[in-house]
Structure 1
Amino acid sequence: MSLMLEEARNAPERIRGQLQRNQALLADLGERLRLAEPAAAVTVARGSSDHAAGYFAYQCMKRRGIPVASLPPSLTTLAQAPWRLNGQLALAVSQSGQSPDLVATQRALAAAGARTLALVNTPQSPLGAASDTEIPLYAGEEKSVAATKSYLATLSAMAQLIGHWQEDRGLLDALDGLPERLTRALAMDWSPAIEALTGADKLMVIGRGAGLAVAQEAALKFKETCAIQAEPFSGAEVRHGPMALIGPGYPVLVFAPPGPEQAGLLELAEWLEGVGARVLLAADEGVATCQLTLVDAGHEALQPLSVIQSFYVMVAGLAAARGSDPDRPRHLNKVTCTL
C-alpha cells in the first residue's frame, strides 16, 4: 500500500480527533467573529491548500454574505502592495506553515490591520506564529508528497469554523457523523474510473459550487500522481469555451453529489455523453446513470469531503495501474518554499 493511500485511509479517524480537540477553540472563534463581523475576507494559500481555501470562500460567501478573495502572495513579496484591511479577516492555509511567501504575506496583512487566522498541520510553524489565531489540523505527520489527509482535515476544520460562526446546529451535528460517513466513502468501488483512465493522457474534472474546490484538488492529484494533464472546470464555466475540446472518447469526470448543483451537473453529463465524451459520473446511488457511487455526507456543506475521500482511493489505485509512485512524484518535494 502506498503512503498516499495509507494516509488517505487514516483521514476519518484524524478528523474525528480534530473535531473534538478544536471544539472549544472554534466555538469561541465563531462567537468572536459574530460579535465583530468582518465585511470581507482574503485567503492566502498555494496548491492543495488553495483549493481548500476555495471551499472556505464559497461557504463563507454563501452563509455569511461576506465577499472572499484568494490573494496572490506575489502582491506582497514582489509588488509590495499597500494593503488596507483594518478589521477584515485573513485566513492562511498551509500543511507545513513554512513557505516564505505565505508567512511574509500574513505578516503584511496583520500589519495592515487584518484579523489573521492560520490553518496549519505542523505545530509551532512560522505561519502560525505570524497569525493572531492558529487552528491546528491534527492530521498527523504526512509523509507522502501528495497531500490527502491534510486536505480533508483542512475542509473539516473550515466546516466546523463555519458551523460555529453561523450557529448552524444541523452542520455541527452532521460533522459528528462525518468520520463514519468518510469511512464508508473509503469502501466505494470506483474501479470503472481506473479502467477508463489507465491509458489516458488528458481529462476534465467538473464540479460546481463548493464542489469546484474538490474538482480542482482532483485535477492536481491526477497531475501529481499519474502524470495526466487534468483540468478542472465549474459546470457553468466549462460551457464558456472549454467544451470545444470535447470530442469522441474524451474523458470527463463529473462530481455531482446531492445538492442544488446536482440537476445541472446531471444535465451536463448527459449532454457530454451525447457528443461522445467518455463520461465518468460520480453521484449518489439514487442517480441511475452514475458509474461512481458517492456516500451522502449528511449535509450539503460536507458533500465535497465524501467526494474527495472516495477519489483519493481511486487515484492511488490508478497511479499503481499506470506504474507510477504516488508518494514520489517527479520534480516535487513535500515542502515547497516560494517567494
Structure 2
Amino acid sequence: MLAEAGQAGAAVARFLSTNAAAIDALADRLRAAPPAAIVTCARGSSDHAATYGKYVLETALGIPVASAAPSIASVFAAPVAQGAERLVIAMSQSGRSPDLIATVAAHQRAGALVVALVNDAASPLAQMADTLLPLEAGAERSVAATKSCLVAMAGLAALAAAWARDAALAAAVRALPDHLSDAFALDWSAAEAPLVAASSLFVLGRGYGFGIAQEAALKLKETAALHAEAFSAAEVRHGPMTIVRAGFPVLAFATSDAAGDAVRAVAREFAARGAIVRLADAGGGGDLPARATHPAIEPLLMLQSFYRLTNAVALARGLDPDRPPHLSKVTRTL
C-alpha cells in the first residue's frame, strides 16, 4: 500500500498524458451539447472520488450531479426513463462489478453518454464506454486502493477544467504530479499516536474536501480496523457533534476557501471541548502540514499525505494494511 500510494504522482502524469486528447474532445462535445444532469456510478474509493467530482463539476459548470444507486438496476431491475440528455461517469479500479455494469447498461439503453474512468482497460465496464479514460495507475495489488482513487479524482478535475475552460484549475491539474510527490513526503506523524490509541473517531471535510474525508474514514476502517465516520463540517452539527467530548479524536481537512473556514470553525469548537483534533489546513495553522494551491486540488494533496499516515497507523496497531481480513481486491456486488 505504501509503495503504491507513493506512485500516485507518476500515475497522474501518465493519465494526463495518455488522455489529453480524449479529454479535450469530450469537453468540446459536452460544450456543444451540454447534458441536463450528470450521474456518477461507483462504489468504495471510486465513489469517494465521485463525491469529490460532484463538487468540482457542479462548481465549475452548474450542472446537477447525482450518484446512482446500483441496486435500482441490479436488484430491482427498474428501467431508467428516457428523456433529457444525461452524462454517466462510471469509475472503477477493476471495471468488473456486476451491479455497476448493470447500472451503466440501463442508463446507456436510455440514451445516456457513458464516460468510464477504469484502471483495467480490458474490463467489461471499459468496453461499454462511449469515451474511455484509462486510469493508467498500473498494477495495484494492495486491497486498499490508493493511487487509482487519486488518479480518478485528478481525471474529474481535468475534465471539469477542460469543459469549463477554467485556466486556473487546468494549471493546478498540470502541476499536480509534482505536488503529489511533495505531499507524500510531508510529516503527519502528529496524528499517529491519537489514531493508534483510538477506537472511534470523526473525519471532517467540506466542499471539495468532503470526498477525501469519506475516503480517509474508509481507509482507517479497512486498514487499521478503526471505526471512523466521515461528516461534512456542516452536517456534523446536526446531531453527531453530541458525541464529541474530551478525548474524542477528530481528523479534519480544511481547504483554503470558504468551505475550509467551516472546517476550521468546527475544529476550534471541538478542541475547546477537549477533543483530540488534528487539522490539515491548506489555509495555514493546522497541526498537519498541507500545501495551498487551487482549492479544488488541495484535497488530493491532503489525501496523499494521509495515505502514508494510515499505513503507519495500521502497522502500529499490529495489522497488515496490504491484506485486511475479510476483504478482496475485486468486490463483485450484485
TM range (shorter): over 0.9
- What's the CA shift string for 1:110-137, capped at 9, x where partnerless? 0011111111000111001122111110
Of 282, 287, 294, which aligns to 1:291? 287
Whole-angstrom CA distance in 2 between matches of 1:85 and 1:66: 19
Whole-angstrom CA distance in 1 between matches of 2:284 and 2:102: 47
AA aligned opposite 1:24: A
- What's the CA shift string for 1:13-45, capped at 9, x where partnerless? 111121111111101100100000001111111
Q: How do 1:157-196 and structure 2 match up within 5 A?
A: 157-196=155-194
- What's the CA shift string for 1:201-234, capped at 9, x where partnerless? 1100000001100000000000000000000000
Residue aligning to 1:25: 22
Residue aligning to 1:220: 218
Whole-angstrom CA distance in 2 between matches of 1:172 and 1:62: 14
Would you say the 8 A contact 1:257–1:283 is kept in 2?
Answer: yes
AA aligned opposite 2:7: N
The structural deviation recorded for 1:82 is 2.4
Residue aligning to 2:265: 267
The answer on 1:337 being equivalent to 2:332 is yes
Whole-angstrom CA distance in 1 between matches of 2:279 and 2:11: 29
Residue aligning to 1:242: 240
Whole-angstrom CA distance in 2 between matches of 1:260 and 1:224: 31
Q: How do 1:28-39 and structure 2 match up within 5 A?
A: 28-39=25-36
SS in 2 for 1:292: coil
Of 318, 321, 329, which aligns to 1:323? 318
Residue aligning to 2:71: 74
Of 302, 305, 312, which aligns to 1:307? 302
Would you say the 8 A contact 1:282–1:293 is kept in 2?
Answer: yes
- What's the CA shift string for 1:119-174, capped at 9, x where partnerless? 10001110011221111100001000000000001011111111111111111112
Q: Which runs of 4+ in 1 moved over 4 A?
A: none
Residue aligning to 2:143: 145
Would you say the 8 A contact 1:64–1:166 is kept in 2?
Answer: yes
Q: TM-score, normalised by structure 1?
A: 0.96
Whole-angstrom CA distance in 1 between matches of 2:55 and 2:155: 15
AA aligned opposite 1:161: L
Indicate the percent of aligned positions where both proteins have the same amino acid.
Answer: 48
In structure 2, stretches of 5+ residues that fail to align are none
Residue aligning to 2:207: 209
The structural deviation recorded for 1:257 is 2.3
AA aligned opposite 1:73: P
Once the two structures are overlaid, the 10-residue window that deviates more, 73-82 or 228-237, is 73-82
Residue aligning to 1:232: 230
AA aligned opposite 2:317: R
Q: How many residues get paired?
A: 333
The structural deviation recorded for 1:85 is 4.7
AA aligned opposite 1:209: G
Residue aligning to 2:58: 61
AA aligned opposite 1:16: A
Are residues 226 and 85 of structure 1, via their aligned partners in 2, closer, same or farther at CA, if it must alter by over 3 Å?
A: farther
Q: TM-score, normalised by structure 2?
A: 0.98
